[in-house]
Amino acid sequence: MAGAGSTPFGTGVQRFTEPRARILRLDFLMLLGTLGLIAFSLVTLDTATATDIPGSPDYFVVRQAAYAFVGLAVMIALAAVDYSRLRELRVGLYASMIGLIVLVLAVAGATRGSRRWIELPFIRFQPSELGKVLLILALSAFIVDRLRRLSDRETTARIMLLALVPTLLVMAQPDLGTSIVYVTIALALLFVAGTKWTHFAALGGLAVSAVVLALVVAPAAGVPLLKGYQQDRLTAFLEKDNADPQSQGYQLNQAETAIGSGRKSGRGSDAATQTRLDFLPESRTDFIFAAVGELYGFVGAGIVLSLYALLIWRSLRILTIAKNLYGALLAAGVGVMLMTQVFVNVGGNVGIMPITGIPLPLMSYGGSSVIVTLIALGLLQSVYVQAREAAASKTEAIA
Amino acid sequence: MVVTPQLALRVAILGGIALVLFAVIFFRLWYLQVLSGDQYLAEANDNRVREVKVEAPRGRIVDRNGTVLVDNRTALVVQVLPERLPDDPVRRKRMTTRLARVLSRDPAALRRKIRRDSRSLPFSPVTLKTDVGLTTVLFLQENQSRFPGVEVERVFLRKYPHREVGAHLFGQIGEVTEDQLDKPRYSGVALGDRVGQSGVELQYDRYLRGRNGASRIQVDARGLPKGELSVRDPRPGKRLRLSIDFDVQKAGQAALEGYGLPGAFVAMDPRSGEVIGLGSNPSYDPNVFAKGVSPSVYKRLQDPDNGAPLANRATQGLYPTGSTFKLITAVAGLESGLLSPATVLFDGGSLTVGGVTFKNAGNVSHGAVALPRALQVSSDVYFYRVGLMADQKGGDIIQKWAGRLGLGRGTGIDLPGEGAGLVPTPEWRNRLFRRKLTDRPWTPGDNINLAVGQGDLQANPLQMALAYSAVANGGRIVTPHIGMRVEDSSGRILQQIEPAARRRLNLSSSTRTAIMQGLRAAANDAGGTSTPVFEGFPITVAGKTGTAERGAQGDQSWYVAAAPFDDPRVVVATTIERGGFGAEAAAPAARRILAAYFGIKGKKAIGTAGEAPD
């Protein structure tokens, strides 16, 4: 491996210099993707939020930059830590995840009908965002614990139950989109760990029954499990002609118009009327991808998607080189988390998925989302760094 | 960690899923941005661009001397965009009730109007009230959030500074109808634009209306303006100069109004057909139409018991003309060879034909008279005899000449809705009789009655003015017209309105001389029917009285005159329902009109005879 590893001056000197060398061993491609998306986010927000707060056109850009800065610092710090030690904290991590989500349900003020955050100075802390990472850390650890009994139905059931508790709590906030991410993460972890195909088939059967129960049987019995607007969102992409500006159909129509009007190379900041004149709703959060589409066209949207593809490819690559199963599971969890969020968010923007209101990682404005995504990427970097070091020491041992 | 084949497979599956998802999104983006991009760009532009109409002021209408008769003023109208009203029926109802209170209108009627108008013209604003006060407008603007979809717009309304004067000439403007929009002459007019719908406003609409401008503004998602993209300036309408002389018009209407009876007058240049004055009594104030008239007011303006002020009796009246018709009988007799100017017929006070006795008015006997004298003293028996002779000769001589002189058909005046009237013929009456629509067939008595303008004859003052003009000008049937020329706002002539004479009659000069002499004597010489009326009038007038017997409706007073006698520049026809003898009402009214035309003031204008009120 690089530089210090192959010096002929003996192991003592080499170990002594290791802490500094670790930083240099970050996955640069992933770092490139991370910084690229942050840059794209800031540039897009500059246009999308220029008139949101009269008199301070840079309000959201400055804040997003600050969140990204803090997040990058945490990311690098995490990269320098051996993630394996977090496995020991699994119970504490799981408990704090549940505790935070319950806390938000209990104390946070009602905003727009959903209780998703706790007001802190400088940031609206959204526990369900942090919960994604805590869930990956805790569930991966539990799976590693029961690795030998992985083919037991009990193991799969336990892991899924552990995942379902926070999922249902998040759904109760209500935050349907994030709960989908939770379930996907749990499934991905089981999948990568090697759970039997028959278990997935059984889980699939259960899921179908649950959906039928929630959407058909329960409303028929007079117990609506989904809130009205959630149902609207699930069906909105089927009825785009709705002229009511509050309706989901209208929002989706405006999002598609924004994206389409960007054509190949985009309309540029000044001419992007859908974004600038607020026809595009929520252009700094849920619909920032549509703003990108209008501002920078097919080329810009393609670059953003390529950057996500880069991150996902890197996470799958890191999965395969991780020094232990825990690291592989963390990489799988982070990769699938990104994949789910990108597909659900962008799919909603382009009209092939229901709008579920989950942020586009690193692009959507919001401290919790940006910082938590960077924490997840920090863990991924840590897996990479540890893998590299392990490989280096192995090479050294052989040499 | 060792990568087992199983793990490799599962990672590959994850990668495959990611690949498929990204491919789906890329294809969707390709579809949206590359394949349909132009269409979405057009939609985005539709979203943000609003075209706002900038109304062009209609052209003014002025009289021949430049006096403004029809002007513009700006007014505020309250409109509502039905699709921006609250969707919730309860909130909608509450809002419309609130709005109705602000506009002091009936809430149910307001809702009905919104419903009806938005059904016929969806997506266009419904005008709820025109000419709204500034305080109301300010209130609505300050409380905009409570009145979603309500807009205030500035529009031009017509203003009639002289109120009743000329009311029947101008006509009204109103929103263009869908039928009109299909016609080529309304090209460039958009739905909701207002165009002339009657009178001169309709006749000369294409000059008067101008062309609306448009302002393209950019709006945000809330509809708030964010800057102007482009403007097309409105092109104001052209100025229309009428041949009407305001002083003559005013004098005519005042003269009629003075009697308090329904009536009409026409003053026309016999040489060109330029109408110098044309009015009908009772009149009305057209300002009530400018902001939309209520059904009850409209009904009252049409009510016959109220004198039907909207009716223009000068062009739409259907009256027997009494002795003013004798000019036509005289032309027919002379030109057909039944008579010569020297033919003397005996007037013994009455004529009995087929057991029916036709008498002179007042049973006087004029003895042996020739044509000029017969006109001067208005000998009925003379003309009874001409009527009888014409009937015996056959060939509808009087009827044919009445038609040639313009009776029984439209005059072609540039005012919509003129009446044709009726010249009774044997064929006409016999046809009615065959269909059992009348009690008897044609008799010589019908022709005798026609010869003195009684019986079934129906004509209006404009037709009589036209017939007298033809004699005065030597045989030309001119086209009466009110529009004189179209000008730009600085007075430069853009188009002169000079309709050609419709036809030329070959009247012999002896015919003209005999008749004109008779008419001159009737207004000037001792024994003339209107000599007392024109006593002291400085211009020599040639005129004929008429008293049409209309049974239960009493006698209708008529007068038709040409002046000055030696070279007539004006023909005046007046009629007053229930006005009695021609010399009692119509002739004094004509004197006042002639006085106004010739600029004669004071005592000389009015005269002493007749019952002309001061």
DSSP characters over B386-442: HHHHHHHH-S-HHHHHHHHTTTTS----SSTT----B---HHHHHHHHHTTSSSS--
Would you call B43 an interface residue with chain A, using a CB distance cutoff of 8 Å?
Answer: yes
Distance of CA A80 to the CA centre of its chain: 21
End-to-end CA distance of chain A: 11
Q: Do B15 and A244 touch (CB under 8 A)?
A: no
Would you call B9 an interface residue with chain A, using a CB distance cutoff of 8 Å?
Answer: no
CA distance A48 to B319: 78
Distance of CA B543 to the CA centre of its chain: 28
Would you call B40 an interface residue with chain A, using a CB distance cutoff of 8 Å?
Answer: yes
At B89 the pLDDT is 83
Minimal Cα distance from B21: which residue of A? A343
CA distance B208 to A98: 78
Residue A125 lies in a domain: yes
Would you call B87 an interface residue with chain A, using a CB distance cutoff of 8 Å?
Answer: yes
Phi, psi of B383 (to 5 degrees): -75, -30
Best mutation target among A150, A180, A261, A289 (most B Cβ atoms within 10 Å) is A261
The answer for A227, left when phi > 0, alpha when psi is -120 to 50, beta otherwise, is beta
What chain B holds in terms of domains, given with CATH numbers, is 51-171+207-242 (3.90.1310.10), 246-283+321-362+371-606 (3.40.710.10)
Q: Do A293 and B87 touch (CB under 8 A)?
A: no
Please state, for a pLDDT cut of 90, what percent of chain B lies above it: 57
Answer whether B368's CB lies under 8 Å from B345's CB: yes
At A239 the pLDDT is 58
Residue A348 lies in a domain: yes
Strand partners, B558: B546, B575
At A355 the pLDDT is 83
Phi, psi of B574 (to 5 degrees): -130, 150
Chain A closest-CA separation from residue B103 CA (Å): 28
Residue B177, C-beta contacts closer than 8 angstroms, at least 6 positions apart: none
Chain A closest-CA separation from residue B60 CA (Å): 42
In 3D space, the residue among A107, A104, A75 whose CA is nearest the CA of residue A172 turns out to be: A104
At A3 the pLDDT is 42
Task: Residue A242: count other Cβ atoms within 10 Å of its Cβ.
Answer: 16
Residue A281 lies in a domain: yes
Q: Do A309 and B18 touch (CB under 8 A)?
A: yes
Best mutation target among A274, A287, A317, A341 (most B Cβ atoms within 10 Å) is A274
Chain A closest-CA separation from residue B220 CA (Å): 4
Distances (CA, A) of B220 to A182, A279, B45, B471, B486: 38, 7, 11, 71, 44
Give contacts of A273 with chain B, Cβ < 8 Å.
44-45, 47-48, 218
Residue range B22-38: mean pLDDT, rounded: 94
Residue A220 lies in a domain: no
Report whether pLDDT(B613) > 80: no
Minimal Cα distance from A325: which residue of B? B1
Residue A267 lies in a domain: yes
CA distance A80 to B558: 117
**Tokens read off for B249:** 């018009």
- In tens, the pLDDT along B444-471 reads 999 999 999 999 999 999 999 999 999 9
For residue A295, give the amino acid letter: L
Answer whether B450's CB lies under 8 Å from B421's CB: no
Would you call B163 an interface residue with chain A, using a CB distance cutoff of 8 Å?
Answer: no
Residue A21 lies in a domain: no
At A337 the pLDDT is 97
| Range of the structural domain that residue A354 is part of | 26-148+228-398
Q: What is the pLDDT along chain A (399 residues), one digit of tens a residue?
A: 444 444 444 444 444 445 555 445 899 999 999 999 999 999 999 999 888 888 888 999 999 999 999 999 999 999 999 999 999 999 999 999 999 998 888 775 555 555 677 777 777 888 899 999 999 999 999 999 998 888 889 999 999 999 999 999 998 887 888 999 999 999 999 999 989 999 999 999 988 898 888 777 777 777 766 666 666 666 655 555 555 555 677 888 889 999 999 999 999 888 888 988 888 888 899 999 999 999 999 999 999 999 999 999 999 999 999 999 999 999 999 999 999 999 999 999 999 988 888 999 999 999 999 999 999 999 999 999 999 988 888 777 766
At A5 the pLDDT is 42
At A356 the pLDDT is 83
CA distance B161 to B67: 10
Best mutation target among A277, A310, A341 (most B Cβ atoms within 10 Å) is A277
Distance of CA A178 to the CA centre of its chain: 9
In 3D space, the residue among A65, A72, A40 whose CA is nearest the CA of residue A377 turns out to be: A72
At A234 the pLDDT is 62
Chain A closest-CA separation from residue B277 CA (Å): 58
Residue range B475-489: mean pLDDT, rounded: 93
Q: Which of A216-220, B224-228, B348-352 has the highest mean pLDDT?
A: B348-352
At A114 the pLDDT is 55
Nearest CB partner across the interface for B41, out of A263, A305, A351:
A263
Contacts across the A-B interface (CB distance below 8 Å)? 134
At B612 the pLDDT is 39
DSSP tally for chain B: helices H, then strands E: 23, 23
Would you call B216 an interface residue with chain A, using a CB distance cutoff of 8 Å?
Answer: no
Nearest CB partner across the interface for A261, out of B8, B26, B40:
B40
Q: How many domains, in total, are found in chain A?
A: 1
- In tens, the pLDDT along B153-212 reads 888 889 999 989 999 999 888 888 888 888 888 888 887 788 888 888 988 998 998 888
Best mutation target among A196, A279, A325 (most B Cβ atoms within 10 Å) is A279
Minimal Cα distance from B30: which residue of A? A298
Chain A closest-CA separation from residue B109 CA (Å): 27
At A8 the pLDDT is 44
Residue A315 lies in a domain: yes
Residue B298 CB-density burial (10 A; 0-12 exposed, 13-18 middle, 19+ buried): middle
CA distance A331 to A262: 35
What is the 8-class DSSP label of residue B481?
Answer: B
Residue, of B513 and B213, whose pLDDT is higher: B513
Q: Do B44 and A194 touch (CB under 8 A)?
A: no
CA dihedral of residues A287, A291, A293, A294 (deg, nearest 10):
140
Sign of CA dihedral B334, B339, B344, B350: negative
Best mutation target among A140, A350, A384, A388 (most B Cβ atoms within 10 Å) is A350
For residue A264, give the amino acid letter: K
Residue, of A36 and B132, whose pLDDT is higher: A36
Nearest CB partner across the interface for A261, out of B8, B21, B44:
B44
Chain A closest-CA separation from residue B176 CA (Å): 29
**Tokens read off for A35:** 């910084």
In 3D space, the residue among B173, B263, B172 whose CA is nearest the CA of residue B576 turns out to be: B263
Residue B378, C-beta contacts closer than 8 angstroms, at least 6 positions apart: B323, B326, B361, B522, B529, B544, B545
**Tokens read off for B524:** 């000037």
Q: Do B29 and A298 touch (CB under 8 A)?
A: yes
Residue A102 lies in a domain: yes
Q: What DSSP string runs through B317-341?
A: --B--GGGGHHHHHHHHHHHTS--T
Answer whether B301's CB lies under 8 Å from B601's CB: no
